[in-house]
Amino acid sequence: MIRQHFGLTKDPFIIDDQATLLPHQQRHFDILKVHSQQGGFCLIIGEPGTGKTVLKNHLIHHDLKNWITPVINRSLHTWRNILRLLCQAFDLESDGADHKCEARLIAEARHLNTKGKLVIPIIDDAHLIPIEALRKLRLLLEDFPKNHNLILIGQPLLNTTLQLRPNQDLKTRITYSAKLEALTAPDLTTYIHNQLERVGLPHTAFTDAATNLITRSAEGTLRAVKNLCIGSMIEAVRDRTKTIDLPQVNTVLLQPHWRHNQSNEPTEPVLIPPRNLPPKS
């Protein structure tokens, strides 16, 4: 609908490997490339919507010839399941006992090393991974050649977990860590303009007033900007206009999930009293 109305050949505001990195993302990307050549254990954290997925996609598609980047997006699993997800990511057989899966992964890593490949496993939403599973993963990677770089991407809770004393064996192996902070209004405006250029629309497709309202309402997150822009473009289709202005953005912001009313929040936690169970006979 949006493509037809605006005469586009590409979908606007999508997250893929062709999205232009913002300066702070590019800086982290360049550093991660160096660590991937040296071998390491890297940590990228940030609140939801701050651009971690964009950075991950660029890592995955950076060098398809020389970089092997198996990705685990479903991290809320036991070690047994994570091990099999890793095998699947490497296109290896995942049946059999755990030690057989581990042996296949180690053999594959050594085979790739002889071919000059870099192995860069990426675990997304790593704050959800059980700490014992992460510890076993670290032990598995000890048997990999030094041609690998494990990249953990998650929310700040992951760093909090690694700071705990029992997890010092993991923390001391981190070679690089970075936090993607909430973005400034100029950064978000640059993101909007980059996306418009990508699909062949002029910057004026969004008026300055509309752009300013979107960047103020997004609270520093790329995901919120993306959703607001797409929603506003849908409203422009409904209004039969090709210029997104305040009426279209405000229509989106009237949706309940954009309206945060603190008066609706309880001042105290809501406690549910226990049920009165009948006495045992």
Round the average pLDDT of the chain to a whole number and report it.
Answer: 87
Residue 226 has pLDDT above 60, yes or no: yes
**Average pLDDT in the 68-86 region?**
86
Residue 270 has pLDDT above 60, yes or no: no
pLDDT on residue 276: 55
CATH of domain 183-254: 1.10.8.60
pLDDT on residue 280: 55
**Average pLDDT in the 38-67 region?**
89
pLDDT on residue 274: 54
**Average pLDDT in the 77-87 region?**
88
Q: Does 203 or 279 have the greater pLDDT score?
A: 203
Q: Does 147 or 124 have the greater pLDDT score?
A: 124
Percent of the chain with pLDDT over 90: 56
Residue 78 has pLDDT above 90, yes or no: no
**Average pLDDT in the 191-201 region?**
93
**Average pLDDT in the 139-160 region?**
90
**Average pLDDT in the 48-62 region?**
89
9-13, 198-202, 258-262, 266-270: segment of lowest average pLDDT: 266-270
- Rounded to a whole number, what is the distance in angstroms from the first to the last CA of the chain? 67
Note the pTM of the prediction, 2 decimals: 0.80
Q: What residue ranges do the domains of the chain occupy? A: 23-180, 183-254
Residues of 34-66 as b/e, b for ≥16 C-beta within 10 angstroms?
A: ebbeebbbbbbbbbebbbbbbbbbbbeebeeee
Instruction: Indicate the fold that domain 23-180 takes in CATH.
Output: Rossmann fold (3.40.50)
> Which pLDDT band, with edges at 50, 70 and 90, does 264 fall under?
very low
193-197, 249-253, 277-281: segment of lowest average pLDDT: 277-281
